[in-house]
Structure 1
Amino acid sequence: MTSEPLVFCLTCLLLGQMAPLSVLTSSPVHLKSSFISAPVGGEVTLRCSYEGDESAWICWYKQTLGQNPKLISSFFVYSPENIFYGEFQNNSRFTLIRKNRTTNLIISNLKMSDSATYYCAFTYAHIVSFSEGATVIIKDPDSDIRPSVLQSEPESVRPGDAVTLNCSVQTGSCGGEQSIYWFRKSEESHPGLIYTHGGKRDRCERNPNTPTHTCVYSLPLKDLTVSDAGTYYCVVRFCGQIVFGNGTRLTLMSEGKFLVHFVTGLLAGLFLVLIIIVVYRMKNKHTNQAAGTFKKKEHCSLFSIKRMQVTHIF
């Protein structure tokens, strides 16, 4: 390897540690961000596209929950050579395909340890631009220790309110400790890790009749703003497995929308009260009319009886 590629590779390896290095907020590199679920033994393809004509390096990273990012590979855009590092070197499960400013990272014969968030980065003149992350979740349908993760129902709140999201995790017994993470995914931002419980258990109960136990984890959110809206995912790492919950949708109404809903609800309530009053008055009027008719008929009957009595006298 020549000295120039070595410099660029070190740039990829030492991200965040070099003094002149900076990270762009507007990235020329793009990775289709999503949650990808795949079975053990399957295959996933992560596609990254990049822009610009600079003499740049493109790097791929893998970040497992709770761990530092690992450099998978890098390449110089004007060179056909792909360089892999560490555990990914000479590993036939990891393949790079490059074509028309697009690089595909293919991971085959998937293992549980492949569950992670993957990024690609654009490195030029000591400036590093990261792509969005793609979170890959590997599932083993044959596992007998697979945890079950259930989350609370969707919430709709106003800005400034507080809410607590709950996550119930039921696991078997494998002697391992649970680690809980919370991800948030919204329309304005890409999926990202926002909080971790580490190995702490909030409220746990063991079933005496089975080797399973259930733990409930809570995520308190205070002084909510519109930017906090999105879907919150509870993620558990247990006995080498990573499992996502079904997600809890958090919706925040802006002050304007809340005022519209409030006024609409108020008008609907007033309209309902008005209908009740009208119906009550109509019913009361009908009752009074019926009572008046009955009295009139009763008066006529008495008049007829008296008239018959007078006729009889004469």
Structure 2
Amino acid sequence: MLIICYLLLMLRVGRCTDSLIFETKTVGVGDDVTLTCTRQASEPKTRLFWIRLVSGDLPELLGGTFSFDYDGVNKTPRITAKQEPGAFVLHISQTKLSDTGVYYCVKVKELDMTFLNGTFLRIKEPDVTAVVQVPPSDSVHPGDPVTLQCSVLSDSEKKTCPGDHSVFWFRAGSDESHPSLIYTHGNSGDECEKSPEAHSPQKCVYNFSKNISSSNAGTYYCAVASCGEILFGNGTKIEVNMLQSNPVLFLLCAALAISLTIIAFLIYTIKKKTCGCCNAAVVLETNASIPRGDQQSQQRDEDSLAYSAPSFITRKTGKAERRNVKTAEETVYSGVRAL
């Protein structure tokens, strides 16, 4: 940076001040970066510029604006320079390794150039390229041992920090707001295999075994920490099948279903009997409400129907009855003779 300032001083076109803010940012490939520069709207004849210095190349102008409010935007396919309230920002989307360099915000007022702030942006490619989790193939029952597998792909040639990566297992239950740490692997060198092919990634496989109970249901995550960054896997969801694995619970459910069926049948039978009693009571109440004259008329009709039926009962005639009949015949005969 000092060499650049000395060169600018020799050209009499710029100067470095003690108030220069310089920082370093490190991001991964594909990340988005926003650099901010303070803008004073009270300086009407001032312009601001973003300049990038890359080793081996000439300075590159990325965008410029005025100090006062201005709607103009300088935009390239991945870099955008525009105004925001009180600031002039530079936004880089989907960073690449070629974006590594020094970025300066420069203020130009008439023939005076001032470097306001500088940022050394370092783009690094992570050594861990993928974390893949393999879910269990069969359904899980309480008490069954479950083995979760986590495969870590890394490139040791691109590693930017010393030491091996660390692997952790987290579990996120349905009643927990944040995942909880449940296991940490030791030395990672024992589970890693180097591919014989040149420039091929290194594969490390980590297994985590546990006897699952009903309280262990949830989503298990494999996390890899390397060079100050943590990369999580896609997660493995463990659901405990309680109904098929517990015969006692199954029998209780069957007994409950049978009990409900019996109760429903008893309710139907009692309701049917109650309806029969209600019908009989209604008939009695109807008969009681009929007037007495109508009841007598109804009784006579019933009696007439009873007497209208022919009778086939034969009775034997007694002696007294035969005498009465004979006397009556004689009386009739005497009356006819008198005539």
Q: What range describes the TM-score normalised by the shorter chain of this pair?
A: 0.3 to 0.5
Structure with the higher strand share, 1 or 2: 1
Larger helix fraction of residues? 2
TM-score by length of 2: 0.33
Task: Using structure 1 for the length normalisation, give the TM-score.
Answer: 0.36
